[in-house]
Amino acid sequence: MKYVFLNFVKGVLYGIFSIVPGLSGGVLASRFGDYEKIVKIINKPLLIVDNIKYLCSIVFGILFGMFFMSKMILFLYNRFHTTFFLLVMLFNSLIVIKIHLKQGFKLSTFITTVLIISFIILCYGFVGNDISFNSKFIELLVTSLIFSISKILPGVSSTSILINIGFYEKIIIFYSNPIKSIFSMPFFWIIFWILFFIYSIFLLKIVNKMIEHDSFNYFIYFITIFNSILMFWSSLKSSI
């Protein structure tokens, strides 16, 4: 019972991290050693009581963290935007430094990565500024894909991208009142979650391959830098 409660608490933290702009619940789960374990259990499912208890406690914790903390996160984000930005940058910097030292990367690797990612995001800023969708169907395909990538791939924070395409508040409102949201837009939300499930199955296969080929830490390293720079760009753009 003690471990079930501990896993539930960790799940709550993962859920909260997954809805904070610029942060990733997957990275936190990886640091605690849960992410790889969950991926392996899902890819090679064995109906063992311990595995079922473990997954249920983590999943219920994540749902609790997302649904019951969403209103508070939205309030804090709107009121203390700068503080949010600084905390996100601090957390991501610690992750990058830890992996950088562990993998024995050279400083030139970090600088080159930052320059390339900055250039990509700068191009995105000019080309993708004020993105709008011509149809609900295109919006469904894109937003559900971005959302599933953020929930499955560690280090990927969909919130930074969702803010830029104007979908962040929409998903937070859904978390805070899912029943009302589904009744107000039944077609959109039902298809959204079906697509999310389909995308997630394929992404879990990709992650499992990364773990098997020992490229997992490299991915987290590069994508965390990407998220930090994207978050910086979003914050800079909103202050102008």
Instruction: Identify the pLDDT of residue 127.
Output: 47
In this prediction, what percent of the chain has a pLDDT beyond 90?
0
In tens, the pLDDT along 129-161 reads: 445 555 677 778 888 887 787 777 776 666 666
Which range among 13-17, 130-134, 225-229 has the greatest average pLDDT? 13-17
Q: Are 17 and 23 in contact (CB under 8 A)?
A: yes
In tens, the pLDDT along 102-134 reads: 777 888 888 888 887 787 777 655 544 445 555
Q: pLDDT class for 235, splitting at 50, 70, 90?
A: low
Amino acid sitting at position 52: I
Instruction: Identify the pLDDT of residue 53.
Output: 84
Query: How far apart (Å, rounded) are the C-alpha atoms in residues 23 and 37?
Result: 21
In tens, the pLDDT along 81-103 reads: 677 777 777 877 887 887 788 77
Q: What is the largest CA-CA distance in the chain?
A: 54
Instruction: Identify the pLDDT of residue 122.
Output: 72
Q: pLDDT averaged over the chain?
A: 77
Give the length of the chain. 240
Instruction: Identify the pLDDT of residue 146.
Output: 79
Contacts of 216 (CB under 8 A, 6+ apart): 30, 36, 154, 207, 210
Model pTM score = 0.64
Instruction: Identify the pLDDT of residue 99.
Output: 78
Q: Is the dihedral of CA 181, 187, 188, 193 positive or negative?
A: positive
In tens, the pLDDT along 168-197 reads: 777 778 877 888 888 888 888 888 889 988
Compute the half-sphere exposure of residue 206: CA atoms within 13 Å on the CB side of its CA. Answer: 11
